[in-house]
């Protein structure tokens, strides 16, 4: 499963960055400080690891179900 997670990491990390940036925009609308795009990219690097692991688990479950 870790091989899948490593393969999915380049796709999960930008998805995390986009979601963090949009969360920052929602937070800005409610009065919280804004998250800059550069900050969201830096935050997405470590947060992409659990997202890739969860994506790998999901894909592995789909593969197991298909066989």
pLDDT band at 1 (very low <50, low <70, confident <90, very high): confident
- For residue range 11-66, list pLDDT tens digits in order: 999 999 999 999 999 999 999 988 999 999 999 999 999 999 999 999 999 999 99
Pair 4, 62: CB distance under 8 Å: no
User: What's residue 2's pLDDT?
Assistant: 83
User: What is the predicted pLDDT for the residue at 67?
Assistant: 85
Yes or no: say if 50 and 16 are a contact pair by the CB < 8 Å rule: no
| CA–CA dist 63, 47 (Å, integer) | 25
């Amino acid at each position: 499963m870790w091989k899948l997670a490593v393969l999915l990491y380049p796709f999960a990390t930008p998805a995390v960055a986009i979601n963090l940036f949009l969360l920052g925009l929602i937070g800005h609308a409610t009065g919280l400080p804004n998250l800059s795009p550069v900050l969201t990219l830096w935050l997405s690097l470590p947060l992409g690891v659990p997202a890739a692991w969860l994506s790998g688990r999901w894909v592995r479950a789909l593969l197991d179900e298909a066989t």
